[in-house]
Structure 1
Amino acid sequence: MENARKRSSNAPSILVFDSGVGGLSITQALIKKLPNVNIQYAADNLHFPYGVKTEQALVDRIDHILHRFQEHACADLIVVACNTASTIVLERVRERFSLPIVGVVPAIKPAAKLSETKTIGLLATPGTVTRQYTDDLIAQFASGCTVIRCGSSQLVEFAESSLMSADNNQTGVINQENHRQLLVELSVLTEASEKDMDTVVLACTHFPLVKAQLQQLMPKVKYWVDSGDAIANRVEYLLTHHLGLTLEQNSAHGPQYSSLFSKSVDDNPGLIHYLSQWFSNEWHLV
């Protein structure tokens, strides 16, 4: 079980975990919904990306590193802000931790309700699009829809590098080379978007961070669906109803935000700059 450590603030604390920066899309939703809650963002960047690793390797790695992060964070609740990890390890980590664990799964259900043409694109990592967990979600919530799957590791790398670049206050415009590469990588979806696909599920937490670029590739898509708001609502419910914690501000200094990494980010000034929008320039190596 996880170790406990006394916190410097009485406000509830959340640990948001991912392999890279993708979980920041969930973090943004949490900050908006829960402005008085302390948040520690934890990235296992030493083992990024998760989407191309075997299931057993991920189970073992995430079990280990999540305990290491929690020993440092002593959070009240953990968000596994990674679709790939959530579809594999939730059962294991929930057995190994005594605190609530919230996972992120593809938003198939709301997408099926939103779609007017009942043709949906599922954009995820290669592992997520082929997993039984995803098959079950589609069978349960989108049996009346045509679901077009696209697994892309390249888009994960694109999102990660975009946020780590020195100009990550970018306008969202894709340069010509990236535009050509992504058109090829996502061709099954870009072609469907010219026909009757009106909804795309962003089933990797990296992808909402580059939604502006995706909209340039598929301008006819009407609905872009991710899990950020649903996760924030679930976290609020668990903190207040399950744990009985108060979410009102109880510190004159406001919420505390910090970031944890499994590998140094000293050579990524762009990432530090991006994080400083919510966090500080300080980070901790675990």
Structure 2
Amino acid sequence: MNIVRQSPSVLVFDSGIGGLTVYNEIYNKVPNAHYIYAFDNELFPYGDKSAEFLINRVNSVIETITKFYTIDLAVIACNTASTVCLPSLRSKFSFPIIGVVPAIKPASLLTKNKCIGLLATKATIERTYTTNLIQQFAANCSVQLLGLSELALIAENKLQGITVDMQQLKELMQPWLELQTVPDTIVLGCTHYPFIKKELQMIFSQATFIDSGYAIATRVYNLLNDKYDLKQKTSDASENIVLSTNYNQSVEKLIKKLSNYNLNKYQLIKA
């Protein structure tokens, strides 16, 4: 039986805990909704998975969630999944589904030297969707692409209390450091990356960093505001829940920190 709530129920989904950066922005904008944060840590990371695999997997996980919870709006807080899964998800589910895509358009408006850096997973870098974004909004700029599978894991480790290895991070950024024109605007094209923005800023001290979190939160607010009185408090943060597809030591540590994110319950799901 579905759990029905008076306030809108918002699902935020990612392969890992990087989507918490997007969830935080949404929660700050719409604190009176009911939230479900779900992450597919059983198959983390998504950046090395095929498009066909991701479409089947993401559809399967979200379908499982809808068997237990009523969802009024979903956010796919994963750039990799968003670039391939949105059409299939929108054709399957009746509630609005918002995707997260690299913030190329705002970056093109911010850059001074016309050199933009897009930092993302290899999968996001290689998607036609990303190529089209660049051609549409940044044709007059030099867009440097850097697809790295290691950064999402570095970000997850940081949240587990593991200090970021700055030497390793600098080595990963070396292709940009060797450029004649270094990007002055860097797009964080994976929702995990804002967690290590401080460390990235230490390497690119003159750059402006941008992600999609605020824009996604604004989009969520606008869609929900058409149907709900978002000023009315009909839901309590104690009802917000985290779901994961695997239970391990990392999840155990995360559970102890859930209240920091206004998430107070945990449930294991199997998709």
TM tier, shorter chain? over 0.9
1:250 aligns with 2:233: yes
* Shift in CA distance, 182/236, structure 1 to aligned 2, threshold 3 Å: same
Quick check: 1:257–1:278 contact (8 Å CA) kept in 2? no
Instruction: Note the alpha carbon deviations across 1:132-183, whole angstroms, 9 max, x for none.
Output: 1000000000000000000011111100111123x7xxxxx74xxx212111
With the length of structure 1 as denominator, give the TM-score of the two structures: 0.88
1: CA distance, partners of 2:256 / 2:237: 21
With the length of structure 2 as denominator, give the TM-score of the two structures: 0.93
1:201 aligns with 2:187: yes
Aligned with 1:190 (options 177, 199, 217): 177
**Alignment match, 2:152:** 156
Q: What does residue range 1-286 of structure 1 map to in structure 2 within 5 Å?
A: 5-7=2-4, 9-165=5-161, 174=164, 178-192=165-179, 195-221=181-207, 223-241=208-226, 244-251=227-234, 253=236, 256-266=239-249, 268-280=251-263, 282-286=265-269
* Shift in CA distance, 285/268, structure 1 to aligned 2, threshold 3 Å: closer
Quick check: 2:238–2:262 contact (8 Å CA) kept in 1? no
Quick check: 2:16–2:39 contact (8 Å CA) kept in 1? yes
1: CA distance, partners of 2:237 / 2:17: 24
Structure 2 portions without partners, runs of 5+? none
Structure 1, 182-191 or 89-98: larger mean CA deviation:
182-191
* Shift in CA distance, 254/40, structure 1 to aligned 2, threshold 3 Å: closer
* Shift in CA distance, 210/70, structure 1 to aligned 2, threshold 3 Å: farther
Structure 1 runs, 4 residues or longer, greater than 4 Å off: 252-255
* Shift in CA distance, 271/53, structure 1 to aligned 2, threshold 3 Å: same
Q: Return the letter of the residue paired with 2:185.
A: T
Quick check: 2:34–2:235 contact (8 Å CA) kept in 1? no
Quick check: 1:94–1:100 contact (8 Å CA) kept in 2? yes
Quick check: 1:87–1:105 contact (8 Å CA) kept in 2? yes
Quick check: 2:32–2:235 contact (8 Å CA) kept in 1? no
2: CA distance, partners of 1:282 / 1:151: 34
* Shift in CA distance, 266/73, structure 1 to aligned 2, threshold 3 Å: farther
Aligned residues with identical type, % of pairs: 40
CA RMSD of aligned residues (A): 1.9
* Shift in CA distance, 98/117, structure 1 to aligned 2, threshold 3 Å: same
Structure 1 portions without partners, runs of 5+? 168-172
Q: Return the letter of the residue paired with 2:67.
A: E
**How far is the alpha carbon of 1:280 from its aligned partner?**
4.4
